[in-house]
Amino acid sequence: MTVLDYPGKIAATVFTGGCNFRCPYCHNASLVFNAGAQEIAEEDFFGFLSKRKGLLDGVCISGGEPLLQEGLDAFIAKIKAFGFLVKLDTNGSLPARLKELVGSGLIDYVAMDIKNSPAGYAKTAGTTEKMLSQINESVAFLLNDPVEYEFRTTVVKELHIKEDFSEIGKWIQGAKRYFLQNFVDSGDVIQPGLHGFEKTELEAFAQIVRDYVASVQIRDA
């Protein structure tokens, strides 16, 4: 249950296993590697939802990377049949799937990660430079406003510098909203020993992006 994951809504969050990125700071390492994560039967999940009609506004689907999941369309359609809104968390690496789900009307809100400026993207996401073309496609798609959306960056002292936020701002210029999330070590990270920033530093980064984006906020962990 969450009041943070879906802006302005009371929601439940369901996590999917597996990811095509290896972000060093990922706080769901067991989900990324599908190792030791608790599995929940679909019937139990929908039983949970059926008891919360009128209490919840929506469901957040997070991960891992949810767009890797086969049968995601049908799963979301079942959620929508209960009358809930659906928010999708994604790393933006599968633009065709993102466009398909949004185009079908199954998604009400998208939160897309912007891992770093383009120059630092591959290192920060644990992927290759080739992935940037797919990320660019997803960014451009959302900037055309096909659905309610946000961009967000988890900020890590060892991976981000002040200049990155100017480049991010230029990249997503005109976006509706952008959130900075300070890194917090969950104890289930891929690379131990990373650190967040001081609040004053986060505020300075946010101010840089405000030259390009209408709404820039710092989201509490």
Q: SS3 string of 150-196? A: EEEEEECCCCCCHHHHHHHHHHCCCCCEEEEEECCCCCCCCCCCCCC
Report pLDDT for 69: 95
178-213 per-position pLDDT tens digit:
999 999 998 889 999 999 999 999 999 999 999 999
pLDDT for 188: 87
d(Cα 203, Cα 214) in Å, to the nearest integer? Answer: 15
The SS3 assignment for 137 reads helix
Task: Look at the pTM and tell me if it is higher than 0.85.
Answer: yes
C-alpha separations of 217 from 8, 59, 129, 166 in Å? 14, 22, 28, 15
Is the model more confident about 54 or about 210?
Answer: 210
Q: How confident is the model at residue 39 (pLDDT cuts 50, 70, 90)?
A: confident
Q: What is the pLDDT of residue 36?
A: 61
pLDDT above 80 for 41:
yes
Would you state the pLDDT for residue 166?
98
Structure tokens given for 44: 């139990």
Instruction: State the pLDDT at residue 34.
Output: 77
**pLDDT, tens digit, 9 for 90 and up, residues 105-159:** 999 999 999 999 999 999 999 999 999 999 999 999 999 999 999 999 999 999 9
pLDDT at residue 37 in the model:
67
- For residue 101, pLDDT over 80 is answered with yes
Query: How do 85-90 and 215-219 pair as beta strands?
Result: unpaired
Asked if the model's pLDDT at residue 38 lies above 80, the reply is no
pLDDT tens for 112-126 read 999 999 999 999 999
Mean pLDDT of 3-21: 91
Question: How far is it, in rounded angstroms, from Cα 8 to Cα 10?
Answer: 7
pLDDT computed for residue 84 by the predictor: 96
